[in-house]
Every structure is written in structure tokens, then in C-alpha cells.
Structure 1
Amino acid sequence: MEPIFTAEQLAEIKAYHLPYYIRSGLNPFLLLGYLALVLGPLNGPFYRFAQRLAGWLDNHLGFLRRAPVLRVVFQVLDKLWGETGWGTALLFGLCVDLTYKLVFLPADIYFGYILEHRYGMSTYTPLTFAKDELKDVLAGVVLVCSLVLGVYGLARRVRRWWLVLGVPMAVLLLLVSSVLDPYRSRAYFDQEPLEAGPLRTHMTELLARADITFADILVEKTSVASKRVQAYFAGQGPTRTIVLNDVLLQQFSEGEILAAVAHEAGHVNEAQWPNRIASALALVAFLFVIDWLLRRAAARGWFGAMRFADIRTLPLISLLYFSVMLTAAPVSAAFSREREREADRYALRLTKDPATFRQMLVKAARVNKMDPEPPRWIVIKGLTHPPVGERISDISVP
């Protein structure tokens, strides 16, 4: 049977992935180092800078508090925070977040632009790359502001804030998050309905056999940024859509596209509720631990904290989140790899065409430059898909 790669192709793929493996090994230590700095020697200077900047803005732009529309915004922010000082809190959070992005910007440029171009995987121009990086920064700003006002603001005013915030968020996580999935990627890529024709007809027939209802089949224009192929399902119930990127339509045959969609259909037929319930409970537990840490920090004066929910403890939440994710990643990834194997088996039962399914995996491995045999520690650390070499070898072709 034809090998996945020639010796030259395999050597190129190993060279392409090596910097990513080095980064994966070093990143936890680099992030821990940064968090140690912002919880230690940089904590005080960042907080004092935020105080001075907030004071300067209040002196020079305080008149905005009296503007007809902005007056309401300021009143809402005062109420959310429970007292004055939310400006310092927001600026401290943004200072921590934006400094992190600035420190790691050279690595982001190297891995996101230079390395990807070097191996022919990216179609970014400097301008489009910068635009997407800016979108990531703005998303981070929104997240930090929500965290500061939502967690710290509520914690300062409500004793059992973790229940008041955690339960509604858990319900939203259970019921709403998947419904919003189809709209997230549109912030980065244009989408349009797949045109009528044999592919759309055959895909509809395939999904009818799988008893999967959907709202539409969309083509995502990712070729402006990447040469990778991709297909996924987004949404739930009436918002469920099948998304095929335009590179997939250009590079793959109809049978290979149907094989990829059949694999994604396998995920739709997984039992979704156990994972969602576990995620919702984990969220409430995570907020409870944050509450415990904030109280310990206030009682012992950690990081200069003067009271409960002092904003100077914000990096402590990042450290907690990092620790939880690092610990949970190997377990979560192991379950994910098994789900991927089951999705492969489901696709083979649905299409009854192992030769085309294998051909689809081989072509995807070549186009996306997948390492067929990554280091074992990379797999254990958090690889969400089985190595493509294992997936291909598991397929029995008559």
C-alpha cells in the first residue's frame, strides 16, 4: 500500500513540527515565569501605574461622566463595582494582559507567520496577519474587562458570588454556548452557502442516513490565511451548520469530502450531555476555588492585597487556570482521542467505503503536513487526535 509520505516529505514535516514541539515543552515554564513576575516584583509597579493612569484619566476626561449617554455607562460601572476604583482595576487587568501579549509577540509572529510561510502553510499577508492579531487582542480586552467587572465586581458585593455567577453561567454553558458556535468563526472568515449541485445533494443524502438535521452547508473562506483543509459541524438543533473550508473544496474529491463529513457526523452522534454537565459543574467548582483563594489572599495580605477581591490578586486566577488546564489536559486529550477513533469507526459504517476514507486521511495528512508519528510525550501532554499514522493503519482496506 502506498506510504503516506516519501522520505523527503517526512523529513520536511519533522523539521516543520520540531519548533512547535520545542515550544510545547517550553511554554509552561515561560508562562509560569511570567506569572511569577506579575505576582512578585511587577505586581506593585503595575498596580501603581494603573492607579496613576486612572487618576490622570479622571482629571482630564472626568467631564465625560456628565455626558448624556456616557453618564449612564459610568453609573452602571459604578454600580457593578460597588464603589469607586473600577478604573484602576480595569487598567491593572489590561496592563497584565497586554504586557503578556507584548512579551510573547515575537513568538506569535514567528510561529503564526514566519514559520508557516517558510513551509508553505500560510497565505497571510503582513496586513491580514496583523488584523487577525488585533482581533485576538481586542477579544482579550473584552475578556479581561468581563473578568474584572463580573468576578471581582460581584465578589465585592455578594458573599456567595460564586453561586450567583456560576449557576447562570453553567446553565448558559449547557444550553446556549453550542447554539452560538456557528457565529464565532465569522469574526475571522467570510462564509457563504455551498452552491447547489451534486456535492450538496450527496451530502444531504449522507446526513439523512445519519439522521442528522441541519440548517445549512457553508463554505468558509480560510484560504486568505491558510492552506490547511478543514471541515466541522457548528451549532446545535436549528442552528447546526456543516462548515467546509474552501481549501477542502479545491483539494479534495467529492468522495473524500463526504468521508470527512461522515467523520464529523460521528461527533454529532456522540453523547453530548455528560461532557456538558461535567463542564458546568467544573465551572462552579472553579469559581468556588477562586473565592477561597481570594479570601486567603485578603486574610494573609498576599501580593499587597488590602481587602477581599483586591484586583492585585488577578494573576493568581491566571495561575489557577493554568494549573487546572495543564493537569486536566492529558486526561481530556485521552478522552478526545478515543472520541476521534469512534468517529472514524462511525464514518466507515456510514460510508461503507474504507478505501476513500483512507485516501481522505492520507491527503489531509499531506496537505496539512501532519506528523504521522509525533513524540509520545506530545501525545500524552494533550494531543486531541490520534496520530494520523495510527488512524490510517487502523483502517482495513480490502
Structure 2
Amino acid sequence: MEPLFTPEQLAEIKAYHLPHYIRGAVSPLISLGTFALIIGVLLQPFYRGAQGCAAWLSHRFARLRTAPVLRVVVSALDKMWGEPGWGTAILFALFVDLFIELLYSPANIYFGYVLEHRYGMSNYTPLRYALDTFKGLALEATASSMLVLGLYGLARRVKRWWLVLGVPSALLLLGASVLDPYRSQIYFQQAPLEQGPLRERITSLMARAEVPFQDIRVEKTSVESKRLQAYFAGMGPTRTIVLNDIMLRELTPEEIVAAVAHESGHVHESKWPGRIASSFALVAFLFAIDRLLRLAAARGWFGTTRFADIRTLPLLWLLAFLVFTLSAPVSAVFSREREREADRYALHLTQDPAAFRRMLVKAARVNKMDPEPPRWIVLKGYSHPPIGERLAAVPPTP
């Protein structure tokens, strides 16, 4: 077997990944420092600024509160919040969000645009990058506003709010993957894979795998990235096989079939235990938030005057950061084992180890995968086994 990379290619890949490894090492400390800065220094200025801005907007646009449609919306928001003041809460959350985005923007631009272009991994134009960044910020602002109104509003009005919110949220979490085929279309155009031999081969493969699906679509990610990618989105009646246009350009039909076979292995995974565990974890996390909010109210942290004061929001983000950071290595262990099992499933389904090996090799070369990343990086949260390990597990071709 030929070497995965030439020495020159390997040196370039190591140089490309080194900044990411440095970032992985220092980012938890930077995040903790950011939370400490917000909670210890900036929280009260942000809150006073949100109060002043909300008061100015309320005075400036007072007439809109009595407009035929808007007065119904304002009244509903007042009832949801439990009293006037939801404007201050939303603005406070947005101020904190904006500060974090501005603080991280140099690193985000470097890793998302500069470094990717330097090593030939990105097709982003400055305008496209700015538009996608704006979409992300808009979605984040919407999510923050919904979090403030939903979680804090309910917590202020219902004693066991964590149970009232947690149970339906857990049920929604169980079926949330039904919406997966539509999420990525916010950023990328998709079109059905044209009729022809490739579609027929994939359809035949899915019949052998007993995987029903709605459609095979091509996602035009080349406007952003030069990486190849395939995934299954949705479940049941919405399950969609998605291939990006880079994959169609870089891989042969046999290699694309091998990649789809790997993804079909994930369909046969026993997902319900994990989903049920995630649902229980969500309810437990909301209960922990309730305890934290009550502790903050009892001790008057940050000048809070009542339960579920919006000034505790950075504490909730800190709690979420700690939970996800500490749980990432554990969840990554299970993820890597699922990927190994999907590789074994694909090899059994296709009976073509040569095509599967070529697919992995091309993916490694196109996506500039480090064949042997530092062990601590893998343990910290690698979702896939290193590509060198995956290649070593492929049976040799007779």
C-alpha cells in the first residue's frame, strides 16, 4: 500500500493542524476567563445598559405598543414574562452575546477564513463569509431571545418549571432529528441527485441494507469549503441521503457507495438508549439550573431581587460550558466506537475493502486529516477514530 501522504504533504497537514491543537489546549481556559470577566466585572454595566436602552426604546416607540397587532404581542410577552421588563432581559442577553462574539471574532476569522485559505481548504469569498456569519449571529440572537422568554419567563411563573419545560423538551429531543434535512439548507443549496447509474447503485445498496429513504440530494458546499462530506439527515419519512458536490467531483462511484454504506451503518445503531439518556439528562440539567437560580436569589448574587433574575444568565452559560466540557471526552468514546462499527458494517455490506480504503485515503488527502493526532486531542473529544487507525482496520485486498 502506498503511503497515505508524502513527507511534504504530511508536514503541511501538521502545520495546518498545529494552530487547532493550540486552540484546543487554551480554549477552555479562555472560556473560563471570559465568564469570569463577564460575571465579575461586566455584568452590572451590561444590565444597566440594557435597562437604559429598553427604557429609551419603550419611550421612543410607545405608540407601537397600542397598535392593533403589536399590542396583542406586547400583552402576550408581558404575560409570558410575568410582569413588564422582558425588554431589559432580552437586551441584556443580546449584549452579553455580542460581547462574546466581538471578543472571539479575531480567532473565528483566523480559523474560519484566514487559515482555511492559507492551506487551500476554503472557497469562501469575503462576502459569502460575512453573510454566513450574519446568519449564524441572527440564529444565535433568536435562540437567546427564546431562551430568555421561555426558560426565565416560565421559571418566574411556575414552581416546577423545570419539569413543565423539561418533559416536552425531552419529547421534542427524541424526534428532533426529523427536521435535520432542512437545517443545512439555511446555508447551502441542495438539489436531487440526477437519475443515472450512481443513484441506481445507491438505491440498490439501501435496499440491501434495508434502509428506507426519501431522496438522495447533492449539497453545494463548494461555495464555502473544499472538504468532501456525506451524511444521512432525518429519520423515517424524512430520511435523506446527502452528498456534497465535492464528493461527486473527487470520488469514483464505487468510493461514493462505500461512503454511503458507512453512513447507513449509523441507521442501524441502537439510538434510543442514547436519546432516552439525553432526554433524562436534559431534565436533570434543567433541575440543576432551578437549584442554581434559587441559590442566587437566596443569596442576592449580582444584586438579584427575585427568583429567575436575568442577571443570572451568565451563570447558566457557565454551568452549560462546564457540563459539556466535562462530558465531551465520555461522549466521544461512544462516538468513536460507533464510527468503528459503521466502518465494519460498510465493509460487510459492500464486500469491497479496496474501494472503502480508497475512499478513506482520498477523504484524508482532500480534507487534510492528521493520520496520527496527539493522543490528548483524541481523548479530549475526537468524534471519529484517527484516519490512520481506520485504515489499519480495513482488511487487506486479496
Answer whether TM exceeds 0.5 for this pair.
yes
CA-atom RMSD in angstroms: 0.6
Which residue of structure 2 lines up, in the alignment, with residue 244 of structure 1?
Answer: 243
Structure 1 position 339 matched with structure 2 position 338? yes
Q: Distance in 2 between matches of 1:217 and 1:276?
A: 26
Q: Distance in 1 between matches of 2:384 and 2:34?
A: 30
Alignment of 1:1-398 (within 5 A): 1-175=1-175, 177-397=176-396, 398=398
Q: Distance in 1 between matches of 2:247 and 2:232?
A: 14
SS in 2 for 1:40: helix
Question: Which amino acid in structure 1 is aligned with residue 129 of structure 2?
Answer: F
Question: Which amino acid in structure 2 is aligned with residue 366 of structure 1?
Answer: R
Question: Which amino acid in structure 2 is aligned with residue 3 of structure 1?
Answer: P
Question: Which amino acid in structure 1 is aligned with residue 58 of structure 2?
Answer: D
Q: Distance in 2 between matches of 1:133 and 1:337?
A: 30
Count of paired positions: 397
SS in 1 for 2:41: coil
Q: CA deviation at 1:305?
A: 1.3
Q: Distance in 1 between matches of 2:214 and 2:75?
A: 42
Q: CA deviation at 1:122?
A: 0.2
SS in 2 for 1:41: helix
Question: Which amino acid in structure 1 is aligned with residue 330 of structure 2?
Answer: V
Q: Give the alignment's TM-score, normalised by structure 2.
A: 0.99
Q: Which runs of 5+ in 1 are unaligned?
A: none
Q: CA deviation at 1:98?
A: 1.0
Question: Which amino acid in structure 2 is aligned with residue 62 of structure 1?
Answer: A
Q: CA deviation at 1:303?
A: 1.8
Q: CA-to-partner distance for each residue in 1:339-372, whole Å, 9 max, x for gaps?
A: 0000000000000011110110000000000000
Q: CA-to-partner distance for each residue in 1:193-226, whole Å, 9 max, x for gaps?
A: 0000000000000000000000000000000000
Percent identity between the two aligned chains: 68
SS in 1 for 2:231: strand
Q: Distance in 1 between matches of 2:234 and 2:256?
A: 20
Q: Give the alignment's TM-score, normalised by structure 1.
A: 0.99
Q: Distance in 2 between matches of 1:169 and 1:142?
A: 18
Q: CA deviation at 1:284?
A: 0.3
Q: Distance in 2 between matches of 1:304 and 1:29?
A: 27
Q: CA deviation at 1:17?
A: 0.3
Q: CA-to-partner distance for each residue in 1:31-89, whole Å, 9 max, x for gaps?
A: 11111111111111010000000011111111110111111111111111010110110
Q: CA deviation at 1:282?
A: 0.5
SS in 2 for 1:195: coil
Q: Distance in 1 between matches of 2:131 and 2:30?
A: 26
Q: Which runs of 5+ in 2 are unaligned?
A: none
Q: Distance in 2 between matches of 1:165 and 1:127?
A: 40
Q: Distance in 2 between matches of 1:374 and 1:170?
A: 36
Q: Distance in 2 between matches of 1:73 and 1:32?
A: 38
Q: Distance in 2 between matches of 1:185 and 1:169?
A: 22
Question: Which amino acid in structure 2 is aligned with residue 287 of structure 1?
Answer: L
Q: CA-to-partner distance for each residue in 1:281-304, whole Å, 9 max, x for gaps?
A: 000000000000000000011122
SS in 1 for 2:218: strand
SS in 1 for 2:191: strand
Q: CA deviation at 1:103?
A: 0.6
